[in-house]
Structure formats: C-alpha cells, structure tokens
Amino acid sequence: MASALELLQQHYDSMPPVAVMGLSIEGYAGHRLTLRAPLDRHVNDKGCAFGGSLASLMTLAGWGLVWLELEAAGLEADIYVADSHLRYLAPLYDDLRVTASAAEGADWSGFADQLRTRGRARIELVARVPLPDGRIATDFSGRYVAIARPVAGAGHAG
C-alpha cells in the first residue's frame, strides 16, 4: 500500500494550492484516510484554524480517499467534488487532522461497478476534524463524482 500513498502524496504536492499547505498522509486503513497539516500554516486572526483551510483539507481528504479506492480497484478517473456541507462546531487551536470515510449507506464496490459500466459514478463521503479532547471541531459531508478517463485507442470521433 505504501506506493499508492506515495503516489497520492505526489498528486497532492503537484497542485500549487496544496503544495503550500504542509499536508501529510497519516494513514489509510479500513476505507478511511487521515491527513494532517500544521496549525502554523493555517492559523487565522484569532489564533485558531482558518475555516477555509479546514474546508480545503476536508475536500482533499475526500478526494484522496476516492483516488485510493479507485486505485485499489484498478480504475483511473478524474475526480471532482460536486457539493459539500461544513459545520464549524468548535475552534481548533492545534494541528489539523482530518479523517474521511464513506457516508452511511455509500458503497465502494457499487461505486466502482458504476464507474466501470457507465463511465461515471458518484459517492457521498463524510469527514471530521477532531479536537485534542476527542470532540468534533468541524464536520463535512460531500458528494464526489468520478469520470472514467478515455482509454488510449478506444476513442471515437465526436
């Protein structure tokens, strides 16, 4: 699994807005992806984590989780976030740590099957940023769309 995580880290770092975030992959197991970023790069005027940084990190955790699940299924696709809903429940005065997973009822094998057969699939994810005491700082739900990349040689005119 190490090489998929290394590839994902390279993917993240290749995007200019992500390269400046100081993001690292903490772990990926049981269909859950955890990312971290240091508070000092994401601090706002009140000394806590900036809401936009939390939104970015949660969006990226969902994106990376979809990428890893498709990689494990042997699929390649462009992955887009379609919508997201964030609730900022408590200020975070510590490093940012987010864990993303499928929403209740969402199904990775159905998602991969749909991408294979229709060339396009959608899945709902959730993500949470905990406070050091275990309460939730921010929670996120979002839908992601994967669009299969045309296979070389399989194209048609039009």
Contacts to a copy of itself by CB under 8 A: 11, 14-18, 20-21, 40-46, 50-53, 55-57, 59-60, 63, 78, 80-88, 91
Q: Which is nearer to a copy of itself, 28 or 64 (CB)?
A: 64
Q: Positive or negative, the Cα torsion across 88, 31, 36, 80?
A: negative
Shortest distance (Å) from residue 142 CB to a copy of itself: 8
14 or 109: CB nearest a copy of itself: 14
Smallest separation (angstroms) from a copy of itself to the CB of 87? 5
Residue nearer to a copy of itself on the CB measure, 1 or 82:
82
Query: How many Cβ atoms are within 10 Å of 50's Cβ, its own excluded?
Result: 17
CB of 150 to a copy of itself, least distance (A): 14
- For residue 60, the minimal CB distance to a copy of itself (Å) is 6
Q: Which is nearer to a copy of itself, 63 or 111 (CB)?
A: 63
Phi and psi at residue 3, in whole multiples of 5°? -70, -35
Q: In whole angstroms, what separates CA 151 from the centre of its chain?
A: 25
- Sequence-distant (≥ 6) Cβ neighbours of residue 109 within 8 angstroms: none
The residue whose two tokens read 């200019």 is: 16
Residue 148 region by backbone torsions, left for phi larger than 0, else alpha for psi between -120 and 50, else beta: beta
